[in-house]
């Protein structure tokens, strides 16, 4: 195990949890959800701030669940421990298990709780916009879980992991946000989400 860096300020409190959850990367959820609301407005629908807030909170918890599960399975597979040479903000995970900030078991617990919270918060969204919310959510959760979880481990399949990230944080999340605002699945939202 890698010893904690004595100069690391992220060992306690809020900073620790930001590092464990990879909170700075939650902007990758914030942007497509807000963009989806803007697309809905452009299509002539009003923006419901309460529904937007629920969408953001649910999506953030699902993203945290994905991030922490990714760290857990990368730890279990030995991928993070093996990566000692190329550690940067966009590769190598949070390194919080390797640096002793959280145990692997606690990381798995954080992931499961985050997925549960994201799902429970999404229940009103399901009543608002119907079964398409469930379908989009199921695709997002399944691809998030199996990004690094066996047996599929999409991240290790030559570009498939990157493709899933692009689809989830682009067209699917934008379309989901539009769906929550409008109550209908707008196919133009899928196209609008491609550059996101």
The pLDDT, as a whole number, for residue 2 is 47
Q: What is the mean pLDDT of residues 9-37?
A: 91
pLDDT in tens, 131-162: 999 999 999 999 999 999 999 999 888 889 99
pTM: 0.90
pLDDT in tens, 27-68: 999 999 999 999 999 999 999 999 999 999 999 999 999 999
- What is the total residue count of the chain? 196
Q: Which two tokens stand for residue 115?
A: 């997925």
Contact 196, 35 (CB under 8 A): yes
């Amino acid at each position: 195990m890698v010893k904690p860096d004595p100069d690391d300020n992220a060992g306690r409190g809020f900073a620790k949890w930001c590092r464990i959850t990879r909170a700075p990367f939650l902007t990758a959820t914030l942007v497509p959800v807000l963009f989806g609301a803007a697309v809905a407005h452009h299509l002539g629908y009003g923006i419901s701030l309460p529904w937007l807030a629920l969408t953001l909170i649910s999506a953030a918890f699902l993203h945290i669940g994905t991030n922490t599960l990714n760290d857990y399975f990368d730890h279990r597979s030995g991928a993070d421990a093996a990566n000692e040479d190329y550690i940067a903000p966009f590769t190598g995970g949070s390194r919080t298990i390797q640096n002793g900030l959280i145990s692997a078991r606690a990381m798995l617990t954080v992931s499961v709780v985050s997925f549960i919270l994201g799902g429970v918060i999404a229940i009103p969204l399901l009543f608002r916009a119907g079964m398409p919310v469930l379908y989009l959510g199921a695709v997002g959760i399944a691809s998030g879980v199996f990004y690094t979880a066996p047996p599929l481990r999409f991240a290790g399949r030559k570009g498939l992991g990157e493709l899933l990230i692009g689809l989830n944080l682009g067209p699917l999340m934008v379309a989901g946000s539009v769906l929550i605002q409008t109550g209908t699945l707008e196919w133009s939202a899928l196209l609008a989400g491609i550059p996101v």
